[in-house]
Amino acid sequence: MTKNLNLSRKMVVGTFVICGLLLIIVSVTPQVKPGHKFYFPDKAPIVTDDKEVTTKIVVGDNESEGRYTVLSDLWKPGFSVSTHYHARHTETFYLVSGEAEWTVDGEKHAMKAGDAVYIPANAPHSARTLGNKPAHFILIYSAGDYESHLRRELKYTEQEKKDPKVKELLRELNDFNVVIKKP
Ligand SMILES: [Zn+2]
């Protein structure tokens, strides 16, 4: 009888110890939410790196579940984008450093660090860097499928991308609609 009592006491104490240990483990384990992401520029891979633009993905399409893509874009001096519009996407450009000129729906501004521009769908816009320093932008592209555009482009070689038919197809799929100015 006494033996049984001792044994059950030991079991109760043992259960308390195990529960206590489990509580400690749970409380010190960081709570990781699925899909969350930290962005550190030095560690982020470069997804586009040509003579004119260097792009890194701050928040990807998958992480935001397609809501938006956030990009870090470094425009080299002399870079410009001709007038175009996006039928299904909006863009917000926040200038971190450097200077650039933006024209949206005919309204033109020289932008410096801290300035931002929101471009709704179907608004014709163009941009160019000013001065001899690169312009660093944070771009919020919504809906978030910028990465799928990049993946699509990777299927073509640089030579193939020069083919007018491929160019046209990519522009259409990537929702990049060039505005041809009347002479
Ligand atoms: Zn655009």
Domain shared by 136 and 107, yes or no: yes
**125 CA distance to ligand 1 centroid (A)?**
6
Any domain includes 7: yes
**122 CA distance to ligand 1 centroid (A)?**
10
Domain shared by 54 and 27, yes or no: no
Residue 32 has pLDDT above 50, yes or no: no
Cα dihedral 103, 108, 110, 112, rounded to 10, equals: -60
The predicted model gives 128-138 an average pLDDT of 97
Give the pLDDT of residue 45.
87
Domain shared by 66 and 101, yes or no: yes
Other Cβ atoms within 10 Å of 180 Cβ, number: 7
**98 CA distance to ligand 1 centroid (A)?**
19
Domain shared by 107 and 152, yes or no: yes
The more confidently predicted of residues 129 and 1 is 129
Give the pLDDT of residue 160.
93
Spatial distance between the Cα atoms of 59 and 73, rounded to a whole number of angstroms: 13
- Choice among 18-32, 48-62, 69-83, 96-110 with the minimum mean pLDDT: 18-32
The predicted model gives 7-28 an average pLDDT of 62
pLDDT, tens digit, 9 for 90 and up, residues 45-86? 888 877 899 999 999 998 999 999 999 999 999 999 999 999
Q: Nearest Cα to 87, choosing from 182, 183, 180, 178?
A: 178
Spatial distance between the Cα atoms of 60 and 93, rounded to a whole number of angstroms: 16
Domain containing residue 157: CATH number: 2.60.120.10
- Choice among 99-113, 119-133, 154-168 with the minimum mean pLDDT: 154-168
Domain shared by 130 and 154, yes or no: yes
Three-state DSSP state, 134: coil
Average pLDDT, the chain: 87
Q: What is the pTM of this model?
A: 0.77
Other Cβ atoms within 10 Å of 97 Cβ, number: 13
Strands 125-130 and 99-104: antiparallel
Q: 181 falls in which pLDDT band (50, 70, 90)?
A: confident
The predicted model gives 123-147 an average pLDDT of 96
Any domain includes 40: no
Any domain includes 53: yes
Domain shared by 22 and 55, yes or no: no
Any domain includes 36: no
Domain shared by 54 and 117, yes or no: yes
Residue 12 has pLDDT above 90, yes or no: no
Any domain includes 73: yes
Which segments of 31-178 are extended strands (E)?
Answer: 46-49, 53-59, 69-75, 80-85, 90-97, 99-104, 107-111, 116-119, 125-130, 135-142, 177-178
Domain shared by 16 and 72, yes or no: no
Domain shared by 107 and 17, yes or no: no
Spatial distance between the Cα atoms of 174 and 163, rounded to a whole number of angstroms: 16
Domain shared by 157 and 79, yes or no: yes
Other Cβ atoms within 10 Å of 64 Cβ, number: 17
**172 CA distance to ligand 1 centroid (A)?**
13
Residue 178 has pLDDT above 80, yes or no: yes
Any domain includes 183: no
Domain shared by 158 and 72, yes or no: yes
**42 CA distance to ligand 1 centroid (A)?**
26
**114 CA distance to ligand 1 centroid (A)?**
19
- Segments forming the whole domain that contains residue 13: 1-31
**7 CA distance to ligand 1 centroid (A)?**
74
Domain shared by 4 and 59, yes or no: no
Any domain includes 81: yes
Residue 15 has pLDDT above 80, yes or no: no
Element (H, E) at 18: helix 2-28
Any domain includes 39: no
Query: Could you give the number of structural domains in the chain?
Result: 2
